[in-house]
Structure 1
Amino acid sequence: MAEFLNTPQGRKIAYHLTDGTGPAVVFLGGFKSDMGGTKAVYLEDWAQKSGRAFLRFDYSGHGESSEAFVDGSIGDWFEDACAAIGLLAGPIILVGSSMGGWISLLVAREMPERIAGLVTIAAAPDFTEDSMWADASDEQRRQLMDDGQIALPSDYGDPYIITRRLIEEGRDRLVLRAPLTLDFPVRFLQGTADEDVKMTVALRLLEHAESPDMRLTLVDGADHRFSDDTCLALITASVEEVIART
């Protein structure tokens, strides 16, 4: 059963915390996903078997946490992540999936002294600007500005409701427009068949970020879910490699 914390902003965040040795591993999920997803649960099982401290949580508007999804923004979810990380002492390893990759980069920029390593899975930095806004038609942009929201089709269920606040607030959180120093081991994972986050995003991130120990691994044929047995094994192997190099 999930436990809950209250953020400084008054939101109620659901989480599962596994005790163990440090550095603790923190999983940051994707847009409209929750902490019950395949990758989060798989990593928790790995952590329990290896005696590693592990944290998974739901952003506000996601899963079991409070608030409505449509009211959220990148900044809100970043604040939620910082509050959840506040449950932990000492250095941490961030594992960010899709939007969680963007959030993890924001966390690393905010508290670099806490970060011992980073693994991203189909990281989607700046996607509100470079994907949602850039790909919107003139009519969709007008509707978004006039009505405050639009609905975009999703391959994962109900349409995504995209709000004007999500787009505009996201512009204050962009990470690919200014220097991005990651002074710890970094492993980027990306599938070549990902239709949601293209390989060009991973390559741009690799070129833009600065780290003394940074690698990008491309998995031929892997899609955005990155959740088959081979991909899951690669995720844990990447986490173990980062831990070994801390």
Structure 2
Amino acid sequence: MVGEGSAKRAIAYRTMTSAKPGATGIFWLSGFMSDMGSTKAMAVAEWATARGLGATRFDYSGHGVSGGAFAEGTIGRWLEEANAVFTQVTSGPQVIIGSSMGGHIALLLVRKLLRDQVSEAQRIKGLVLIAPAWDMTEELMWKRFGDDVRRTILERGCYEQPSAYGSPYPITRGLIEDGRKHLLAREPFDPEMPVVILQGLLDPDVPADHTRELTRFLTGDRVKLIEIPDGEHRLSRPQDLALLFDAVGALV
């Protein structure tokens, strides 16, 4: 359980312990509207198991089999859940993989741990970010919306966003306003660990220029960007997964 009072919600997770004492585990952070049963999440778990490594994945509230309503979800709530699962479920060294919004959550989690729980941050050997949707609610939602959509969100509290991947999903005023409390805001940030980024150049959801901008304000000289000319947003093809596993394997 995460949260208190009316904000208390049950968070579902799956974890596998390493067959090798002291081996690095994998911590998976899903994207917006995705869950721990997605193609990439399952492939990562299988890859880790085949190598005797631990792996942990979970569903944000309002996603998959976790409790809570999706419309009540915010970046702050999902960050709180990621922090709880990481600190309470995982142990030993970890590599964090964040996909799309999960990439944003991963960076926020590292920033929070470096500030509040340095010993927990020191367990992270590196980040692998897949099309990281940094500052998603502001840069990829609010700034892209037309005046009519913004007005709907402000006046009605919710806009039903059409999706290329299924049914429309709600973008709430709470999501936008809370997101402004959790921005990287282009401020120089040193994660103090290696960061590998995979980005498809045909991605319409997280454009390549958005990811390139991230590399300009992440400091520490340990950031590597791998651009995939024919890659789209999901990057779940066999060749995409091969690149992902090469990146994770190098950090492990």
| TM-score interval (norm. to shorter) | over 0.9
Alignment pair present for 1:227 and 2:222: no
Alignment pair present for 1:119 and 2:132: no
Tell me the CA shift for residue 176 of structure 1: 3.3
Contact 1:125 1:176 in 2 (8 A): no
Aligned-residue identity in percent: 41
Alignment pair present for 1:41 and 2:20: no
Find the partner of 1:192 among 180, 185, 201: 201
Tell me the CA shift for residue 115 of structure 1: 1.9
Q: Which runs of 4+ in 1 moved over 3 A?
A: none
Alignment pair present for 1:168 and 2:163: no
Tell me the CA shift for residue 235 of structure 1: 0.6
Q: What letter corresponds to residue 227 of structure 2 in structure 1?
A: L
Tell me the CA shift for residue 178 of structure 1: 2.3
Corresponding residue number in structure 2 for 1:213:
222
Q: What letter corresponds to residue 159 of structure 1 in structure 2?
A: P
The alignment partner of 1:101 has SS state of helix
Matched residues in 1 for 2:125 and 2:179: separation?
26
The alignment partner of 1:158 has SS state of strand
Corresponding residue number in structure 2 for 1:91:
93
Find the partner of 1:131 among 112, 131, 140: 140
Tell me the CA shift for residue 135 of structure 1: 1.1
Corresponding residue number in structure 2 for 1:101:
103
Matched residues in 2 for 1:177 and 1:203: separation?
12
Tell me the CA shift for residue 214 of structure 1: 1.5
Matched residues in 2 for 1:120 and 1:131: separation?
17
Matched residues in 1 for 2:215 and 2:107: separation?
12
More displaced stretch, 206-215 vs 216-225: 206-215
Corresponding residue number in structure 2 for 1:50:
51
Deviations 1:82-114 (A, max 9, x none): 111121123321100000000000111111333
Deviations 1:108-164 (A, max 9, x none): 111133321000000000011012100111121111111101111100101121000
Report matched runs for 1:149-168 at 5 Å.
Answer: 149-168=158-177
Matched residues in 1 for 2:220 and 2:94: separation?
17
Contact 1:183 1:212 in 2 (8 A): no
Q: What letter corresponds to residue 81 of structure 2 in structure 1?
A: D
Matched residues in 1 for 2:25 and 2:105: separation?
17
Q: What letter corresponds to residue 11 of structure 1 in structure 2?
A: R
Question: In proportion to residue count, which structure has more strand?
Answer: 1
Contact 1:186 1:242 in 2 (8 A): no
Alignment pair present for 1:72 and 2:40: no
Aligned length: 238
Tell me the CA shift for residue 166 of structure 1: 0.3
Deviations 1:163-216 (A, max 9, x none): 000000000001133221111111000001111000011100111101342100
Corresponding residue number in structure 2 for 1:178:
187
Unpaired runs of at least 5, structure 2: 114-120
Matched residues in 1 for 2:186 and 2:228: separation?
27
Matched residues in 1 for 2:47 and 2:142: separation?
38
Find the partner of 2:149 among 137, 140, 157: 140
Contact 1:176 1:205 in 2 (8 A): no
Matched residues in 1 for 2:197 and 2:138: separation?
21
Matched residues in 1 for 2:58 and 2:220: separation?
27
Q: What letter corresponds to residue 102 of structure 1 in structure 2?
A: H
The alignment partner of 1:193 has SS state of coil
Corresponding residue number in structure 1 for 2:2:
7
Matched residues in 1 for 2:166 and 2:189: separation?
34
CA RMSD of aligned residues (A): 1.1
Tell me the CA shift for residue 8 of structure 1: 3.9
More displaced stretch, 206-215 vs 34-43: 206-215
